[in-house]
Amino acid sequence: MHDSFMFHFMSKEPSSNLESAMQMLIKTFHKYSGKEGDKYTLSRSELKELLLEELGSYLGSSKDNEAVEKVMNDLDANNDGEVDFTEFIILMGALTVACNDFFLDKRGRVGKVGGRWG
């Protein structure tokens, strides 16, 4: 994306829930990235801190090192030992799908009717 578009996007107040969510994902990633090494990636310890601080209630009893290592290994598509923003967004997408599926199953999946879940 063009730099001026990104500056405009990040400097204005979000006008919708999705714009807010996008800005929050970007800000959250960069809150933790670059504390060690590359400022555009998450190291293992930065990813662990992000997961525990930002998703602790969703992780539940999975707050152990083994779970973080598995997430890191699954995400680190290019095997460089770090998670870049694209790999982070893949994680967030997968977690969002899993949460959606969980809540649909909990409510009893009715099916899609007229463009919405009923």
Q: How many residues are present in the chain?
A: 118
| Continuous segment of H or E residues that includes residue 80 | none
pLDDT, position 62: 55
φ/ψ (deg, to 5) at 105:
-65, -40
Q: Where are the domains of the chain?
A: 39-108
pLDDT, position 113: 46
Specify the pTM: 0.71
- The residues near 71 (Cβ < 8 Å, ≥ 6 apart) are 47, 51, 91
| pLDDT (tens place) for every residue of the chain, 118 residues total | 445 545 555 567 878 999 999 999 999 999 999 899 899 999 988 988 998 899 887 766 555 667 667 777 777 777 888 899 998 999 899 888 888 887 777 666 555 544 454 4
Are residues 54 and 45 in contact, defined by beta-carbon separation less than 8 angstroms?
no
Q: How far apart are CA 89 and CA 75, in angstroms?
A: 10
CATH of 39-108, one of 3.40.50.720, 1.10.3720.10, 1.10.238.10, 1.10.10.60: 1.10.238.10
